[in-house]
Amino acid sequence: MSSPPLRIVRVLSAPPEEIFDAWLDAASLAVWMAPGDVERSTVEVDPRVGGRFRIVMKAPRGDHEHTGEYLVLERPRRLVFTWTSEATHGRSTTVSIELRPHGKGETELTLVHEGLPAETAEDHRSGWGDILRKQDAHVGERRGR
């Protein structure tokens, strides 16, 4: 049993090649994979199909480990990897990244996170629809700039 896939669409200010590489480069990941109260992340990557990664977010209240395996590496269009962390309750989930050239030197990124265990009752689905509509509005706003 899984939730409907989590889907996020964003326009990022660099070409697909640059965005793709930032997902696989340890020095880049250490910077952008350090959320909130995380001081820094230590990152180990083996960027080949079947290779694994390990991102440890060092936080004041304890470390958060995220691990996974690269399933698809098609520079610069597509990247698929498994993702396991305490927030997935140790369960292996799948993250797919699609990159498309957008505008002048920009990239439209679509992130799909599948296998998160959160099936919700029918009337809660509207919540997802609402969020996706807000997301579309956000992308539209960025495009309009």
Partner 1 sequence: MVEYSEARLSRTFAALADPTRRAILARLKQGSLTVGEIAEPFAISLNAVSKHLKLLERAQLLRREVRGREHYCSLDAAPIGVAEQWANGYREFWETRLDALDQLVTARRKARGDKGAR
The least distance separating partner 1 from the CB of residue 106, rounded to whole angstroms, comes to 9
The least distance separating partner 1 from the CB of residue 98, rounded to whole angstroms, comes to 13
In whole angstroms, give the CA distance from residue 39 to residue 23.
19
The least distance separating partner 1 from the CB of residue 49, rounded to whole angstroms, comes to 22
Pairing mode of beta strands 62-74, 40-45: unpaired
**Residues paired with residue 6 on neighbouring β-strands, in sequence order:** 113
Question: Between residues 117 and 140, which has the closer beta carbon with respect to partner 1?
Answer: 117
Question: Between residues 89 and 133, which has the closer beta carbon with respect to partner 1?
Answer: 89
Contact positions toward partner 1, by CB under 8 A? 1, 3, 6, 8, 10, 12-14, 18-19, 22, 28, 31-36, 87, 89, 104-105, 109, 111, 113, 116-124, 127, 131
Question: Between residues 70 and 107, which has the closer beta carbon with respect to partner 1?
Answer: 107
The least distance separating partner 1 from the CB of residue 139, rounded to whole angstroms, comes to 11
The least distance separating partner 1 from the CB of residue 39, rounded to whole angstroms, comes to 14
Q: Which amino acid is at 27?
A: A
Question: Between residues 45 and 50, which has the closer beta carbon with respect to partner 1?
Answer: 45
Backbone torsions φ then ψ of 15, nearest 5 degrees: -70, 160
Question: Between residues 30 and 73, which has the closer beta carbon with respect to partner 1?
Answer: 30
